Amino acid sequence: MNILSAIIVFENLHEVRRLCHWGPIIALTVIAVCSSMAILDSIIWYWPLDTTGGSINFIMLINWTVLILYNYFNAMFVGPGYIPLGWKPENQQDTMYLQFCRVCQGYKAPRSHHCRKCNRCVMKMDHHCPWINNCCGHLNHAYFTTFLLLAPLGCTHAAFIFIMTMYTQLYDRISFGWSSVKIDMSAARRIHHPIMPFSVASFAATLFALGLALGTTIAVGMLFFIQIKVIMRNKTSIEVWIEEKAKDRIQYYQTGEEFIFPYDLGSRWENFKQVFTWSGTPEGDGIEWPVNEKCHQHTLTIEQLKQKADKRVRSVQYRVVENYNGACCPLRKGFNTFLRTPCTEEPRIQLSKGETIFATRGTKWWMYGDKVLDEEQTKAAVRVRGWFPRRCVEKCLYDSANNTSASEEKKDK
């Protein structure tokens, strides 16, 4: 019903456009190819109307497909849940512990982050997933993780069907010689009589589907184990990163602090229940969360503010000395720059000579930073940040990154 309501209700009709993206197109194509080929091969290998085992095999195969699509579309159309535009905490004093989002014109609730793709602040954001063309967050985390579990299981079943079909159909057609193996694809079976012919085209299609199924099982299975690992600790992928940076900050400055992750309830089962419930709707409203007894609601947001301040201190000012058109893999910026382009969906930014950049991180060949904008753009909440080739900039002799006035201090969205 959630899927139908997302499609039929007029005000949610725009959500169907999420399908028009390379991620869902590829994901649904893989599901369609593996499912349809597994059904056809089941008819050839284990005709479901002849035996009880064949019927069970066929019903299980259909169930995998239905469950995978159900959780996939729910993860896509239910969405992660968004912080209301212009949101403020009930207690005005709490605003000092929160970051302000200039795009949403409101404060970021604990565990929320602004998604550049969705252009909204997302509740308990884990990541933006291109395969569902949506964020994975508070409301759809369970659907997304269940999809990651069911997809490898369904593909494993499909791969078994593909292997058994090729084995049973080719067993009597293979002749072994002293120096070669010959396969007669046109030879009639002497024992079994499949309801459908198994031709060269069928063999090629089955082999292709087998490759897709095995690849999906490995890739999606690894993603599932990553997700279930962070769920058992009641974290998100972003929060794992924040915790690591907290430890690095404390070690770098030798502050003697002890950072305790506030949302780990101390029990894997209790953490698990924060995401997975019988109703399918996760616990909580996406704004307030149960926390460790040694922490409070703003323990993590206070740490984030400290990290933002540290980031501004460590940022280095650069001046652009070479134009850059924002290409993902620029051909004219050197062979290593072309080959070592960052493998991320984060944007590249165009550069013009004379502009100023505050770089916050980078590699040997690329850097990531914020472009310094004029006063009007800053007031309009415009922000230009992303990757650019290191060879296009040079470090300013006088680094004013640490002398930036409070009004010009940047806050991440």
**Residue 366 near residue 340, CB atoms below 8 Å:** yes
* HSE, side-chain direction, 13 A CA sphere, residue 120: 17
Long-range contacts of 399-404 (CB under 8 A, 24+ apart): 399/316, 399/317, 400/317, 401/312, 401/313, 401/315, 401/316, 401/317, 401/358, 402/312, 402/313, 404/312
Q: Which residues of the chain have pLDDT under 70?
A: 1-14, 172-196, 398-413
pLDDT value at residue 4: 47
Residues in CB range of 133: below 8 A, 6 or more apart: 18, 19, 21, 23, 24, 76
Residues in CB range of 138: below 8 A, 6 or more apart: 80, 81, 111, 122, 123, 124, 282, 284, 286
Integer Cα distance of 230 and 118 in angstroms = 23
pLDDT value at residue 314: 85
Query: How many residues does this entry show for the chain?
Result: 413
**C-alpha dist (Å) from residue 21 to 61, 130, 131, 158, 345:** 27, 8, 9, 26, 14
pLDDT value at residue 188: 41
Identify whether 396 is a catalytic site residue: no
| Radius of gyration of the chain, Cα coordinates, nearest whole angstrom | 27
pLDDT value at residue 281: 85
Report CA 289 to chain centroid distance, whole Å: 23
Query: What are the two backbone dihedrals, phi and then psi, of residue 275, each rounded to the nearest 5 degrees?
Result: -110, -45
Structure tokens at 281: 């709707």
* HSE, side-chain direction, 13 A CA sphere, residue 263: 28
pTM of the shown model? 0.83
In one-letter notation, the amino acid at residue 288 is: E
Other beta carbons within 10 Å of 51: 11
pLDDT value at residue 163: 94
End-to-end Cα, the chain, rounded Å: 34
pLDDT, tens only, 36-87:
999 999 988 888 887 888 899 999 999 999 999 999 999 999 999 999 999 9
pLDDT, tens only, 80-118:
999 999 999 999 999 999 999 988 999 999 999 999 889
Catalytic residue among 34, 115, 129, 392: 129
